[in-house]
Amino acid sequence: MISSNVIKNAELTSEELNFFVLNGYFIRKAVLSNQECDKAIEIAWQELDKQGIPNKPEKWKTHQRLKRKMGVIKLRGEVEDNAFLNTLAENPVVRSVVGELIGGEIKCMGTRGLYPTFPVSLTVARPYEPHIEMHPVQVFAMYYFDDVKNNNGALYVWPGSHLPIYHACDYKFHYQPNQNFKPVYNRYNLSKPAELTGGKGDVIFLHHRILHSGSNNFADKIRFAMLVDYVPANFEQLRKQKPNENTWEDWSEKVQLAVESNTQAEIQPTASLSRSLALKLVHGLRKVRGIPQHSYGE
């Protein structure tokens, strides 16, 4: 059994808390050991091998299946050593951080799977698309198993979007966007996201209503990541309740104190001309090819 070789303080810092309430996410550095990360990548390769994807960087950009998938492979449940991945999902530091965010007892829903994003050439790149999760969850975590640099398939997020989006859904956790969703979505869709680069073993903690997206990998190495979902123990009770005026009703006292003591204004999206031109182009191409203009879900 591989265990973390560094003793870490699981407790949330006030910087993390303050950043989370304002931005809807934060990154905790070096949660996993190098050994754990290497083993996760090894497990990914066992499955990729079976699927006929070569472990040869010079072949990735021209490989037919990778091109068709625009570099995005999601290994959900088919990996051989899912048990190991689920032990990572239950990592004590991650559990403790999520517990401090949500408050009370939490439940880990296990790994969603391994998400390797392969390098692609510019001609097969996909347009990024902000979305929220369609399945119910309160905090989700993205684990990076290797360094993720700029243009290397890092997760994109729209900081601050968790606040208006929480109120643009009919239920606290169940996915049902209401009439406010589209205008809010459109405002963020025109703005540039934050690119969450990170290091091997880092874990990103995210609020369930934050707009996020995968991104293209134009670098020369694979982006190896894993997504995990966490809910409070009384989740089923809360799932179909109407969102409260107090956005943070279902979060821990620590989070609520950070909200109360926050003096910074909500982050607003800033429209970007290049994004708006790119969207026009994408929408035009989609129209011609009969593809829907938006897919709001995952």
Among 214, 232, 243, 269, binds ligand AKG (CB under 6 A): 214
Question: CA-to-CA distance for 225 and 230, rounded, in angstroms?
Answer: 17
When the beta carbons of 168 and 227 are compared against ligand AKG, the nearer one is 227
Neighbours of 277 (CB within 10 A): 10
Q: Does 170 bind ligand AKG (CB under 6 A)?
A: no
Tokens linked to 254: 């620590």
* Dihedral over alpha carbons 271, 276, 277, 282 (to 10 degrees): 150
- Kindly give the pairing relationship between strand 155-157 and strand 139-144: unpaired
What 3-state class would DSSP assign to 89?
Answer: helix
Q: Which stretch binds ligand AKG (CB under 6 A): 51-59, 163-171, 209-217, 284-292?
A: 209-217
Say if strands 212-213 and 203-207 run parallel, antiparallel, or are unpaired: unpaired
Total site size for ligand AKG, rule CB under 6 A? 10
Interface region with ligand AKG, contact rule CB under 6 A, candidates 34-42, 78-86, 206-214, 264-272: 206-214
Least Cα distance to 141 among 110, 117, 165, 171 occurs for: 110
Site string for ligand AKG, 106-135 (x = CB under 6 A): ---------x-x---------------x--
Binding of ligand AKG by 230 (CB under 6 A): no
Q: How far is the CB of 227 from ligand AKG (least distance, A)?
A: 6
Q: Does 298 bind ligand AKG (CB under 6 A)?
A: yes
In this chain, which of 162, 200, 207, 212 binds ligand AKG, going by CB under 6 A? 212
Cβ 287 to ligand AKG, closest distance in Å?
A: 24
**Residues across the chain:** 298
- For residue 155, state whether it binds ligand AKG (rule: CB under 6 A): yes
Q: Decide if 66 contacts 53 (C-beta within 8 A).
A: yes
Q: Which is nearer to ligand AKG, 38 or 298 (CB)?
A: 298
Q: Is 208 in the site for ligand AKG (CB under 6 A)?
A: no
298: Cβ–Cβ under 8 A, 6 or more apart, which residues? Answer: 131, 133, 134, 135
Q: How many CB atoms lie within 10 A of CB 70?
A: 16
Tell me the window of 1-9, 54-62, 210-218, 281-289 that interacts with ligand AKG (CB under 6 A). Answer: 210-218
CB half-sphere exposure, 246, CA atoms < 13 A: 10
Smallest distance from the beta carbon of 266 to ligand AKG, in angstroms?
23
Footprint on this chain of ligand AKG (rule: CB under 6 A): 115, 117, 133, 155, 212-214, 225, 227, 298
